[in-house]
Chains A and B, each alone.
Chain A
Amino acid sequence: MHDYVYPSIFLAYFMFFIFLVGGIFFLVKSLRHGYWGKNSEDPKYRMLADDEQEMTTRKASEVEG
């Protein structure tokens, strides 16, 4: 019987490494996209607006256009 304990541990470390690198990459990217700056609160106001009215209107104007 093969013992896969060590390969599986190395695989787990590798996956943790990938996730750590991915996490740091997106954290840095979020800094660049302004999530921690003066515009960081914009999304919470935007999500409250009902987008359906606007998009339906836009869709209608596109049809007319």
Chain B
Amino acid sequence: MPAPAHVSALPYGGPGSVSPVESIHEDTTAKWFMLSAISYFFVVGIVALTIAAKFVWPQLLGTVSVLTYGRLRPLHVNGMLFGWLLAADMGLAYYFVPRLCGVKLWSEKLGVATAIIWNIIVLGAVVMLPMGLNKGWEYAELPSVLSALVVVAWVCFGINVFATVATRKYEQMYVSLWYTMGTILWTTFVYATGNIAVFFTTGVNQANLNWMYVHNAVGLIFTPIGLAIAYYFIPKASSTPLYSHKLSMVGFWALAFVYVWTGAHHMLHGPISQWLQTIAITFSLMLLIPVWTVVYNFFATMRGQWYQLRENVPLKFLMSGVVFYLLTCFQGPMHSLRSVNAIVSKTDWIPGHAHMALLGCFSFFAIAGCFYTIPRLFRTELHSIPLANWSFWFFMIGGLGFFVTLWLGGFWQGWQWNNPSIPFIDTVRALKPVWTVRFFSGILMFLGITTFLYNIWATVIDSQGKARSAAAVVNA
């Protein structure tokens, strides 16, 4: 099928994809955030692969304290959450917020200062977490000094985004702006709960607050900013208008009112009150409403446009991310049911689910955003489209191997744990084949990260070379 006229103008890397005129957008902040995020993705990927190997070979790296599982795991979690994904998402927000508002970013200097603070936080974590300096709470391991810097950086980010939105040319805002502003407000609340309020409570209430934070770190930080990115880049990359803006607003408000109540489903069958568990289950099921609005909107947008996936790498990542979003958001409510939860809770099913959300869905959106924006930011073409295709398949095959293995292994593990006649250590030994597949899937994903990193940096370096050549021609 021949491409319609509007398609040839946009998919990245092709003729016409780069504006030939000088833009009013400086984009220095977006570049800082994205390039550092992609670099941390690679570094933390090494840590991820190391801890995956430790599951298979527990003696690996001996007893060197900084290389033990207990030290490396928080580095992996925080590095991926704050070093890669949130930094990449912020970089992409710095790209699309001014464009959607039709004005320049309010303060590029404040943006660069935010990026510097963010890099200090990530580098601080790389040093402090392996040293064992750790608050000791899931997803809130960063030492207090770094948590305080996260708050400072987040306030700077919020001021810049809200001030840009306040100066916008158009009264009606596209849905990505709503989700970005929602992310800023909700993150403030969620981060303060998990990193400050949790220390002023005790016992079960403390555990409950922590799980509220952990769940909403995904649901009210990475979900809304991830959806902001998908709502921006799916129409842009496919050069097709969104199916329904009204439906996207229904999804936004449904998410706003539903998500915050679901955290307690992590403590089902635990010592919290039954009514709280039931509320968490009810709201978890209600999540299917915003999820349906999002997925239906994206699939309806792609009606008649699916052929673009053959050539368009950002769109491949985006629509695969949407499928993973559907799967993970169906899985979440289902394993919030008491009967299912009795089997899968605390098993390997949960990391399988969490990785599908953060890697399969939101990282795919962020990778697509980087592939789309970096050539435009540096006024060049992507270094290699075939290599970008390789990245996609490494991520896809490695990710599927990882997710599916952990779901099956997690269910198996849960059934074994529910049988008191099986000694615990036997359930650990039984999982070794599962962890071996996970390690090899991890190698594929790491190849995906490596090719992605190389492609992006080669694009940037190529653009510098071209700029120097052009300057030499002008001077001659």
Contact = CB atoms under 8 A, between A and B. Distances in A.
Interface of A: 3-5, 7-9, 11-12, 15-16, 19, 22-23, 27, 30, 33-36, 39-48, 50-53, 55-56, 59
A55 B169 CA distance: 11
B205 A56 contact: no
B201 A4 contact: yes
10 contacts: A7-B200, A8-B200, A30-B249, A35-B246, A36-B249, A41-B244, A42-B172, A50-B19, A52-B99, A53-B19
Nearest to A43: B174
B25 interface: yes
Contacts of B25: 52
A35 B172 CA distance: 7
A56 B245 contact: no
Contact of A44 (B202, B205, B241): B241
Interface string B168-205: 00111111100000000100010001000100111101
B232 interface: yes
A19 B232 contact: no
A51 to B, nearest CB: 5
Contacts of A45: 241
Contacts of B197: 8, 11-12
Given A36-B246, A51-B99, 8 more contacts: A12-B197, A19-B260, A33-B172, A35-B246, A41-B246, A43-B175, A45-B241, A53-B21
A27 B200 contact: no
Interface of B: 19, 21-25, 99-100, 102, 170-176, 185, 189, 193, 197, 200-203, 205, 209, 232, 235-236, 239, 241-242, 244-246, 249, 253, 256-257, 260
Contacts of A11: 197
Contact of B249 (A35, A50, A56): A35
Majority secondary structure, A binding face: helix
Nearest to B201: A8
Contacts of B260: 16, 19
A11 B375 CA distance: 47
A27 B253 contact: yes
A52 B21 contact: yes
Contact of B173 (A5, A8, A23, A43): A43
Contacts of B242: 44
B24 A56 contact: yes
Contacts of A52: 19, 21, 23-25, 99
A12 B19 CA distance: 48
Contacts of A3: 202
Contacts of A47: 100, 174, 176, 232, 235-236
B245 to A, nearest CB: 4
Contact of B189 (A9, A19, A30, A35): A19
A5 B175 CA distance: 38
A7 B205 CA distance: 12
B367 to A, nearest CB: 21
A43 B21 contact: no
Nearest to A60: B21
B19 A44 contact: no
A37 B82 CA distance: 39
B282 to A, nearest CB: 16
A25 B282 CA distance: 25
A23 B256 contact: yes
Contacts of A30: 249
Contacts of B174: 43-44, 46-47
B97 to A, nearest CB: 12
Nearest to A15: B189
Contacts of A23: 253, 256-257
Contacts of B189: 15, 19
Nearest to A55: B24
B19 A51 contact: no
Contacts of A59: 24
A8 to B, nearest CB: 5
Contacts of B100: 47
